[in-house]
Amino acid sequence: MLGIILYSKTGETRKIAKRLQEKLSCPLHEIIPESYDPKILKPVLIEAPEIGAFDTVVLASPVHGFQMAKVMQAYIEQTDFTGKTVDLFVTHYFPFTWLGGSQTLKQMKRFVEHKGGSVRHQTSINWSSKKREPSVLAMLALYP
């Protein structure tokens, strides 16, 4: 079974994750931090969803300062992904993928692999660009 685990501060990542959930009718869980202040380097998580029931996990995060949000980093660090297939998508604002998206995906892949997961799909969605909708549709098309 596939499950979506997302973190969203201002709602963009959540909106896109919900579209995937609607398409697949799959579980979707949100990581909830004690504080949404992105300056907190070691966030405390109030809700850190269990992934035991899933063989495939879609992890969705905003880009914060050319990296995954610290909340997503804290979640990955405290989760065992051994044996899981993991798909990644990030949302970001700056107009070029190299201004955050691709670097963040590389970073997330490294963290997930360190925790035993196997990364499959990776998508960067720039919501300020005209390519936003095509990149969302391309991501949705990865899940027939």
Ligand X SMILES: Cc1cc2nc3c(=O)[nH]c(=O)nc-3n(C[C@H](O)[C@H](O)[C@H](O)COP(=O)(O)O)c2cc1C
Report the interface residues with ligand X, using CB under 6 A.
8-14, 38, 62-66, 91-94, 99-100, 127
In whole angstroms, the minimum distance from the beta carbon of 30 to ligand X comes to 10
Smaller CB distance to ligand X: residue 1 or 32?
Answer: 32
Smaller CB distance to ligand X: residue 52 or 100?
Answer: 100
In whole angstroms, the minimum distance from the beta carbon of 84 to ligand X comes to 22
Output DSSP code: residue 44. P
Phi/psi at 56 (5° precision): -125, 135
For every residue of 82-128, DSSP letters joined together read: TT-EEEEEEEE-SSSGGGTHHHHHHHHHHHHHHTT-EEEEEEEEETT
Query: Which amino acid is it at 58?
Result: V
Give the whole-angstrom CA distance, residue 132 versus residue 129: 5
Smaller CB distance to ligand X: residue 95 or 116?
Answer: 95
Smaller CB distance to ligand X: residue 1 or 10?
Answer: 10
- Is 125 in contact with 139 (CB distance < 8 Å)? yes
Smaller CB distance to ligand X: residue 10 or 35?
Answer: 10
Q: b/e per residue, 120-132, with b = 16+ CB within 10 A?
A: eebbbbbbebeee
In whole angstroms, the minimum distance from the beta carbon of 62 to ligand X comes to 3
In whole angstroms, the minimum distance from the beta carbon of 9 to ligand X comes to 3
